Structures are given as C-alpha cells and as structure tokens.
Amino acid sequence: MRTGLIARKVGMTRHFRDDGTHVPVTVLQVEGCRVVAHRTAETDGYTALQVGAGKPNAKRLTKAVRGHFAKSKVEPTRHLAEFRVPADDLVPVGHALTVEQFVPGQFVDVAGVTIGKGFAGVLKRHNFRGLRATHGVSISHRSHGSTGQRQDPGKVFKNKKMAGHMGATQVTAQSLEVIAVDGAQGLLLIKGTVPGAKGNVVTVRDAVKRALPKDLPKPGVAPAAPAAAAGQE
C-alpha cells in the first residue's frame, strides 16, 4: 500500500471521453504536498508517513508545532495526515508528493468531512417513510413513531435511528475511478462525487478493495536544489 495525498476539492464538472460520452467528475487539486515525518515500529509501534500540505498562518503556530517541523527540517504546513505504509515504502522526509503517482483507470478511496445539514428529522436523516395521512394520525405525520418497548426492557437501545445532527462527519468514499491526471496543474479528476463542500480538504489514497494496476509510479519526488548551488555547479 502506497502513501496517499492531501488534496483540496475544487468542484465538479464533466469530462468528455474520446467517443464523445461525458462523465461527471470531481476536480481535486494537490499543491505543496510533502512528507513531514516518519512513524516507525521501533519508536511508535506502527509504520506510517506523516504528510503535510497548505500554507499556515505563521502567527498561529504554537511552539510545539514549530518544534515538530524544525525537527524534520521542513516548512510548516496547514494540514497534516498520516498514511499507513509498509517499511519498504517510506518516502524520505521533505520529498514532494504529486498527483502523478496515480494513473487514469485506477481506483482510489477519498475521505473527507461531509457537508453539515444541522438538526434534521428522521425522514431526511434516515429516509423514514413517515406516518399515515389518515386513520387517526394527527399533526405527527413526520415523526419517527415508537422508540422503545414497554417495561421490559424499559429503555431505548443505543444507535436507535432518531432525529438529530446530520452531516459534518468523516466519510470515506471507496473505489472511485480516476478519470484523468494533470501533473502540470496538480489536478486529479475523480468519477462521481466525493465527501465535502467546495474548498474542503480531503485525503486520497489507493483503493483497499480493488486490485492496483501494474507498474504504478513510485510516490515521492526529491526536492529541487537551490538556484545558487545549481549555478555554482
């Protein structure tokens, strides 16, 4: 399993295939994504990569956060995410991660926070049918009806579907097809919808329920040498 990326949801559009058919796609942009730190079995008990992206407000960084990035000798990032990887697939700290590690036709899993809907009833939140319009039902047509039993067991069981806060939860959309990859602009076109609103940050990684194509590119690009050093050489 390779490392994933941190991307920003730009919006939705459609992509035309060579035969003239079009596919609804979500556009994800990856910019400034790089490896920040390693998690190893010796020190942390598991193996993973910590990836960062985005430019933070320097005034809002705490001393602990500054020290974390100073230890890795990388610039601070606004967003952080961890991706479990085998020990053989640890990308060196500071290396950049681009959309070119994905190829058209492969499947990915995209995780993000869904759009918040506020307090919602059971018809909207859980797709309940609702009560009858006649036969004695008065005023409570959109209610959820009975929530429990009588004296035995005398309680409402946990996870009972009821009205409450809807949305604003972490959701992973699995096995989404990659339609196109634009390495120059850092764009990834994913078939269908992904969780979250426009501008939200999502994570993208290889699908866990689909076989990966052969000869996938290795993630990680070495940082470019400074211009002064290149001129001296």
Which amino acid belongs to residue 231? G
Residues whose CB falls within 8 Å of the CB of residue 88, separated by 6 or more in sequence, listed in order: none
User: Do 180 and 212 have their domain in common?
Assistant: yes
pTM: 0.86
| CATH code for the domain in which residue 66 is found | 2.40.30.10
Range of the domain at 129: 118-166
User: Do 99 and 52 have their domain in common?
Assistant: yes
pLDDT of residue 228: 47
pLDDT of residue 222: 79
pLDDT of residue 226: 57
User: Do 105 and 11 have their domain in common?
Assistant: yes
Residues whose CB falls within 8 Å of the CB of residue 26, separated by 6 or more in sequence, listed in order: 9, 11, 12, 189, 190, 192, 193, 194
Q: How many domains does the chain have?
A: 2
**Nearest alpha-carbon partner for 128 in 158, 164, 170:** 164
Q: What is the pLDDT of residues 183-231, one digit of tens each?
A: 999 999 999 999 999 999 999 999 999 999 988 888 988 776 655 444 5
User: Do 182 and 197 have their domain in common?
Assistant: yes
In the sheet with 48-53, reading across from the earlier edge strand, the strands are 34-39, 48-53, 79-84
Which amino acid belongs to residue 50? Q
User: Do 46 and 75 have their domain in common?
Assistant: yes
